[in-house]
Amino acid sequence: MRILVLNKYCWNHPLAGGAEARLRETLKRWVQWGHEVHFLCAGFPYSPKEETINGVHIKRLKSDTNLIHITGPLMAMSLFKNFDIIYEDISPLPWFAPFYSRCNVCIIHHFNQKLYFYDHSPPLALLAYLGESVIPSFYKHTPTIVVNPLMKSALEKLGWHKVFFIPNGVDTEFYYPERKADKPVVTFVGRLEYRKGLDMLIQASHIVSREIPDIEFAIVGEGPLASHYQAIAPHNFRFFGKTTDELKRKLLQHAWVVAVPSRLEGWSLTVLEANACGVPVVANNVHGLKDSITEGVNGFLVNAFSPQEFASRLIELLNEPTRKFEKTCREYALRFSWDETAKEELKVIQSAAK
């Protein structure tokens, strides 16, 4: 098959996250299995206009990422006839593929809703909010992949006809347990934006630091609020920016606990990567994370909006033996495979292309 993939970012973009990591892992497998994959996305400073990575042909548009959902669909309209199907990653806004192609599949990780107004200027936030609000009108008849069962139920209640729950995978050969740091370390991995909730970890950290004075916080990721968070974070926060996968793995392996205080998630790839390293997660009790956490097995759910509750759970877990949850976390991660994710997604695409 010849597959055209649409997404705001590629996995090399400085702001790439879990959605792009999922694309990287699934698309390279489709190429290995004999399919031709082309990927249309936004460019970023010093990025080549076109390149091939893992057999995937990437074409980047020069548009600012805020305009990609205008220029991107126009380019896709001119290209779609050369492909058997369009695979659209709505992350977070649509490319409106159903408007110009009858053969398409989409994946929806989550809806941002009013969270746009915390990360963007009011005019851009309003446009994004309105753009997201029309998704049901355009996509009800499009085969749609979701990454958690609650989203599947939500879309079906909105009248979606074909919704497929396919969870993330994880590379358990790349991510594996190693020796923990000598001092207690809490690691955060995610885009530095309002949705990911680093501000709530910073608030809770003041309480944790009083109980555990030698605690350190390792922060992995870039984003629009990076400077703000660096300015308000206490001295025991270390910001690593966007790292290599190898350094991220090392930071996860050394962690005693991984914190995921997101206000909203699709599933959270960080949970699986931490678990594969044998590290438990303390996560906010919100949709998406409710599905990826089995209480007391691979982590714990808390009300992260309460600094006291968030801090109390972190303190409790940090006072446990560092290896206590390693076996159950690792076993949980081993249930998920990128091969399986890629295979199940491809089934949906092949069925839609018939």
User: How does pLDDT run along the chain (354 residues), one tens digit per residue?
Assistant: 999 999 999 999 988 989 999 999 999 999 999 999 999 999 988 899 999 999 999 999 986 666 777 788 888 888 888 999 999 998 777 888 998 888 999 999 877 666 666 666 676 666 666 766 778 778 999 999 999 998 899 899 888 989 999 999 999 999 999 999 999 999 999 999 999 999 999 999 999 999 999 999 999 999 999 999 999 999 999 999 999 999 999 999 999 999 999 998 988 999 999 999 999 999 999 988 999 999 999 999 999 999 999 999 999 999 998 889 999 999 999 999 999 999 999 999 999 987
113 lies in the same domain as 199: no
Residue 100 forms beta bridges with which residues?
none
In a domain, 174, yes or no: no
Structure token pair of residue 289 = 């994370």
For residue 162, the tally of other CB atoms under 10 A from its CB is 16
285 lies in the same domain as 195: yes
CATH number at residue 294: 3.40.50.2000
44 lies in the same domain as 141: yes
CB 239 within 8 A of CB 209: no
The total domain count for the chain is 2
61 lies in the same domain as 208: no
Structure token pair of residue 35 = 């399919």
In a domain, 73, yes or no: yes
Domain that holds residue 222: 185-333
344 lies in the same domain as 295: no
Structure token pair of residue 52 = 């091939």
195 lies in the same domain as 328: yes
Structure token pair of residue 107 = 């994946």
pTM value surpassing 0.85: yes
